[in-house]
């Protein structure tokens, strides 16, 4: 069992964890990976054991570019996690990765969750958080060897319209 500390929380990743262990091991090498179905070839954001689109339970880890678009977001103004209180307000983003946007149906996509941070891994300013903004992966290295994938604005122009809330 691997036990890590991240932002005041304990992460337990048992040796028999066939879903998430490889994800965090790859992150430790600064590679963002997802699972790829060995039968139909589709990628999935949730690294579960089976393919939601075909009967196959066979898969391989597949490295992806880490580039994508903010598909949805939430700004945490109030958090119940003590270690996060100094960070608030901070953004949690749902990122649609470039490799499989709009596939296999128009409503689907390869989406993963992370914080939107700046180049120093501090929370990105709220006014810069918008659906449609382009992002890229950045790794938050921890002293005990684990690394957590996060996202930052890539600086690329958005591919379509953007949307953000007004307060």
Give the binding site for other proteins (CB under 8 A).
Answer: 3, 6-7, 9-14, 17, 19-20, 24, 44-46, 48, 52, 71-81, 84, 87, 89-90, 92, 94, 107-115, 126, 131, 148, 163, 165, 167
> How many Å apart are CA 87 and CA 99, to the nearest integer?
31
Q: How far is the CB of 7 from other proteins (least distance, A)?
A: 7
Q: Which residues contact 97 (CB under 8 A, 6 or more apart)?
A: 34, 43, 45, 64, 65, 66, 67, 68, 109, 110, 111, 112
Find how far residue 8's CA is from the centre of its chain.
20
Pairing relationship of beta strands 111-117 and 147-153 according to DSSP bridges? parallel
Do the beta carbons of residue 127 and residue 149 sit within 8 Å?
Answer: no
Q: How far is the CB of 156 from other proteins (least distance, A)?
A: 20
């Amino acid at each position: 069992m691997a036990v890590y500390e991240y932002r005041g929380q304990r992460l337990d990743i048992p040796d028999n964890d066939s879903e998430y262990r490889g994800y965090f091991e790859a992150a430790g090498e600064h590679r963002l990976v997802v699972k790829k179905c060995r039968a139909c070839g589709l990628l999935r954001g949730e690294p579960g054991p089976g393919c939601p689109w075909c009967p196959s339970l066979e898969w391989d880890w597949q490295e992806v570019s880490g580039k994508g678009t903010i598909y949805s977001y939430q700004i945490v103004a109030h958090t119940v996690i003590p270690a996060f209180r100094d960070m608030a307000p901070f953004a949690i983003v749902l990122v649609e990765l470039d490799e499989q946007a709009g596939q296999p149906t128009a409503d689907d996509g390869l989406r993963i969750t992370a914080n939107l941070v700046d180049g120093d891994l501090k929370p990105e300013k709220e006014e810069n958080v918008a659906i449609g903004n382009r992002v890229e992966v950045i790794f938050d290295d921890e002293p005990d060897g684990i690394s957590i994938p996060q996202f930052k604005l890539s600086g690329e122009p958005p591919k379509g319209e953007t949307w953000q809330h007004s307060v």
